[in-house]
Structure 1
Amino acid sequence: MGKLRPEKEEHLAPCHTRRPRSLWNLLLLLWTFLNCGLGGNAQGPGEWTPWGSWSRCSSSCGRGLSVRSRRCIRFPREELCWGDTHEYRLCQQPDCPPGAMPFRDLQCALYNGHPVLGTQKTYQWVPFYGAPNHCDLNCLAVGHDFYHSFGRVLDGTPCSPGAQDLCVAGRCLSAGCDGLLGSDAREDRCGRCGGANDSCLFVQRVFRDAGAFAGYWNVTLIPEGARHIRAAHRSRNHLALMGGDGRYVLNGNWAVSPAGTYEAAGTRVVYTRATGPEETLRAAGPTSQDLLLQVLLQEPNPGIEFEFWLPRERYGPFQAQAQVLGWSPRQPQPREVEPQPLESPTVIPPRTPIPTPEPCPPCPDTRGRAHRLLHYCGSDFVFRARVLGRVRQAQETRYEVRVQLIYKNRSPLRALEYVWAPSRCPCPPLALHRDYLLAARRLISPDGTQDRLLLPHAGYARLWSPAEDSRVRLAARHCPL
């Protein structure tokens, strides 16, 4: 590409000088005096002059190219300079207006009405793309079954419609990440042009949590700046992706999204689902904000593989955030259960009698379809859970529950959760080791230090039964997610 031609060389006769035009030529002149004075023989390649400035873009709209050149200065016995006399780079102009004639079409149209092929007959010409060399100006005669090659296309012509490659000196060249046509510079996995993958780290893991209930489970946080993201599994479960604003990008709210391309966090997410139980999610990145990868479990999890590349400076914060999004209860505390009677000791130490608390008043009646609809529609979570423990703290009651089935959730639930009732005498009360259908709200303190599941006073808490399961599923139809 653009190799040196003999007529463009400049020769310096031994011990002959010319008036210097730049500092570079002055240094070359000094070197010439020294070489001639010492009587040495000139060997090796010549010397390049500095690159000239870039030319204007070849196109007034869309993509084009700019060119710059340099000259080789050498002695008669020296070899040619190593390298190219010209460099070409892409330039981007404003988009062409609708209906504008493509560059190749315009070049063919220049021959409309002009006699060719040695006759006086004229034709109308349009581009022909079936010829072997795409950088020749091959034009088809309209209404005839032949085409004619008018030589090379002009530099900057796309090799084919919609192609990113451009023709330069009769060759079809692609641009490297440095913008130079014909360059082999490529971005590494970290997004650096010509890099060696040393500015980022590769995160590759397998999420193997089997899951104790059907519903959404956190798999991993995909931090801002992640590249080359991939997640895959083989099961009847479904991958779900949530944006930084808490809204699902795909497979959210218990609805399975169709396979396709989705926009999320400044990148395109390609979601594929094969005819078998295989499902994949890919994105080139980089992401402009955090994403949360989840799985909607419908059967035991056989393992979800995920990987991405992350800038080194973001790896530490990612590890810290991943621990915050771990799989411990929402309010990390040691498990407490209802105290059991102590064995009768041989000696009972004296102690101050504890005043007996006042008995709890009866709870209001919370039965009926209207009550169920009211709390189902206004809640953030509806789920089936088994009560494992109960602790009264000041004027609150905290239940530890094991989530077994989720009917509605506006954010992920974990296998073990704490549910808070705002009273020492909660209504309705929950008995230990029983299964309930619960409707709870999410309550976050103003300073963000507490994130609780709140069971409102006189809220929805019914003993689970197949009949109650049918009623709550019927309520879901009147309160879509």
Structure 2
Amino acid sequence: MAWLSLGCSVGTAQLAPGAWGPWGPWTPCSSSCGDGVTVRTRRCLRSTEEEPCTGDPRQYRLCQLQGCPSGSVPFRAMQCSLYDNKPVLGTPVRYRWVPFHGAPNVCDLNCLAMGHNFYYTFGRVLDGTRCSPGSPDLCVGGRCLSVGCDGILGSGTRSDACGQCGGGHEMCLFVHRLFQGCPFGPCPGSALTLNIKVTDKSRNYLALMTSDGRYVLNGDWSIAWPGPYEVAGTQLRYTRAPNGTESLEAPGPTDEDLHVMVLLQEHNPGIEYEFWLPRRHPQPSRGDASPLRQPQPRGAGSPPPQEPPVTPAPVPLFAPTGRCGRCRPTKGRSQRIRHFCQSDFVFQGRILARRLVGQETRYEVEVQTPYRHRFPLVRREYLWVPNTCGCPPLRQGGQYLLMARRHVNYEHTLNRILLQDDGYARPWTPREDRLVREAARHCPQPQPP
């Protein structure tokens, strides 16, 4: 006899979840002025064998209308006033009601009886009521919901550090460094910078300058008061504690370069700074943190700025009266030796850009061959000329042999490379290279101490 064993497996069929239909139109705003909410709904499309849809059938969005007229009754106060002089609590006593904000549920209509020490809850507040005075959150369906950056209440969507709604920081770069060195140096100073924070824990003072040379904080012989400052399209908050700790914070984005400097009172123990940059923006390099000058251009290898070419004036000259005439070129062996021996910086450089700043001209220079430098040089430097006449005449894209000095003003708020209008600046040639190397042999040798 043969036995046949039949096994039957018992399983549970997986029910497909239901699918949502399309969203309907947004309803009119719940308020006629100020803030309100609008709602849209959708239907769950399912058969009896399917599971219910997962998610919310309603979606609420913030709608902001023009401001309410002056003297208008606040929205919550208006809702409380609807119960004025009406019977409440089963007594014939009539009351006038005002909002009460000390109750546990902020989205209940909690109203205080004027002249008495009790409040009454008249159910929920209307959708679009502020959860509390000054709060950006709104009550919807009895719940206090925050507004996401997409305008949807309760979505939880937030902007990333680069201001991208719902982004995950993929499009931005975080920079966090410690600056240590001499009195001046570049800190975050790039346009489109976001979430800037600079902290100094010493007796030194942080100073802030805009791209046109105007001081915003702690410059021109004055120390600024802590507080908010409007600069570069954002609001910056400056704080200073009794122990000397300072901080600069700004959400950004900035719409121009900002130059952070240090007014030295003691050794610099280190200045911590951080900020975010969009990845498409030129990124700062660690190599451009010169301990000497401010402000510095971008790091080596970054593209030159896209500035329109500037043609030097045909007959420029800086004169005390402010008029421009002919430039006085520096020529001759004796002039070359004198400038070489008296200069702090002698180098071959290519002019990348020119910009007028106040009554001065600022050149961005790519340093190619240094011949003499008493102080550190980086790949890209700013070279300042104390006139706007184009003397010496430096052409954008040209290569020059430049002899300049270090300039530190009396207040120690400027520390930079300065080329006088009668300074040595000649087009670079192999012959000029040979002559300047020969000039080095004629400088007096420093005497031993």
TM-score range relative to shorter protein: 0.5 to 0.7
Give how far 1:453 is off: 5.0
Offset, 1:63: 1.5
2:238 to 271, 292, 307: 271
SS of 2:259 mapped into structure 1: strand
Q: Aligned partners of 1:74 and 1:287: how far apart in 2? A: 51
* Residue among 324, 343, 359 paired with 1:400: 343
Say whether 1:53 aligns with 2:44. no
Q: Does 1:204 align with 2:204?
A: no
1:443 to 378, 387, 397: 387
Cα pair distance change 1:325/1:61, threshold 3 Å:
farther
Give the distance between the partners of 2:419 and 2:66, measured in 1 at CA: 53
Q: Distance in 2 between matches of 1:442 and 1:134?
A: 63
Instruction: Check the 8 A contact 1:441/1:455 in 2, yes or no.
Output: yes
Q: Is the aligned partner of 1:84 residue 2:84?
A: no
* Structure 1 residues 391 and 115: CA distance shift in structure 2, 3 A: farther
Larger radius of gyration: 1
- Using the alignment, how far apart are the partners of 1:276 and 1:329 within structure 2? 27
The alpha carbon displacement at 1:225 in A equals: 0.9
Asked whether the 8 Å contact 1:219–1:295 carries over to 2, the reply is: no
Q: Is 1:248 aligned to residue 215 of structure 2?
A: yes
Q: Deviations over 1:313-337 (max 9, x none)?
A: 1124x559x959884699xxxxxxx
TM-score, with structure 2 as normaliser: 0.64
Q: Does 1:224 align with 2:191?
A: yes
What aligned pairs does 1:9-158 form with structure 2 within 5 A after superposition? 43-158=15-130
Shift of 1:50: 0.4
CA distance in 1, matches of 2:294, 2:113: 75
Q: Residue 443 of structure 1 contacts residue 452 of structure 1 at CA under 8 Å; is this kept in 2?
A: no
Kindly indicate whether residue 226 of structure 2 is the aligned counterpart of residue 259 of structure 1.
yes
TM-score (norm 1): 0.60
Whole-angstrom CA distance in 2 between matches of 1:329 and 1:198: 31
Instruction: Tell me, yes or no, if the aligned pair for 1:391 and 1:397 is still in contact at 8 Å.
Output: no
1:132 to partner: Cα distance? 0.9
1:401 Cα offset (Å): 5.7
SS of equivalent residue, structure 1 residue 106: helix
Match of 1:182 among 140, 154, 160: 154
Match in the other structure for 1:350: none
Cα distance, 1:161 vs structure 2? 0.8
Note the alpha carbon deviations across 1:384-429, whole angstroms, 9 max, x for none: xxxxxx9724998994269xxxxxx999x9xxxxxxxxxxxxxxxx
- C-alpha RMSD of the superposition: 3.6
C-alpha distance in 1 between matches for 2:200 and 2:271? 5
| Larger helix percent | 1
Read off the aligned partner of 2:23 and give its amino acid letter.
W
Deviations 1:408-463 (A, max 9, x none): x999x9xxxxxxxxxxxxxxxxxxxxxxxxxx98224547869855489xxxxxxx
Paired amino acid for 1:293:
V
Looking at structure 1, the residues matched to 289 and 334 of structure 2 have their Cα atoms a distance apart, in angstroms, of 25
Identity of aligned pairs, percent? 50
How far the C-alpha of 1:251 sits from its partner, in A, is 0.8
Q: Is the 8 A contact 1:89 1:180 kept in 2?
A: yes
Q: Which runs of 5 or more residues in structure 2 are unaligned?
A: 1-12, 296-319, 323-332, 346-357, 363-383, 397-401, 403-416, 423-449
| Matched-pair contact (CA < 8 Å) for 1:261–1:271 | yes
Cα deviation, residue 130, structure 1? 1.2
Give the Cα–Cα distance (whole angstroms) in 1 for the partners of residues 21 and 15 of structure 2. 18
Contact kept, 8 Å, 1:204 with 1:306, in 2: the verdict is: yes
Aligned to 1:313, the other structure's residue is in SS state coil
Give 3-state SS (helix, strand or coil) of 2:76's partner: helix
Post-superposition CA distance 1:94-143 (Å, at most 9, x none): 12222211100010111112222223332111111111111111111111
Deviation at 1:305, TM superposition (A): 1.4
Matched residues in 1 for 2:255 and 2:335: separation? 44
The residue matched to 1:105 in structure 2 has which SS? helix
How many residue pairs match? The answer is 322
Equivalents in 2 of 1:142, 1:327: separation in Å?
Answer: 68
Structure 1 unmatched runs, 5+: 1-40, 212-216, 331-374, 379-389, 403-408, 414-439, 457-481
**Amino acid in the other structure paired with 1:107:** Q
Deviation per CA, 1:329-368: give whole Å up to 9, x if none.
Answer: 99xxxxxxxxxxxxxxxxxxxxxxxxxxxxxxxxxxxxxx
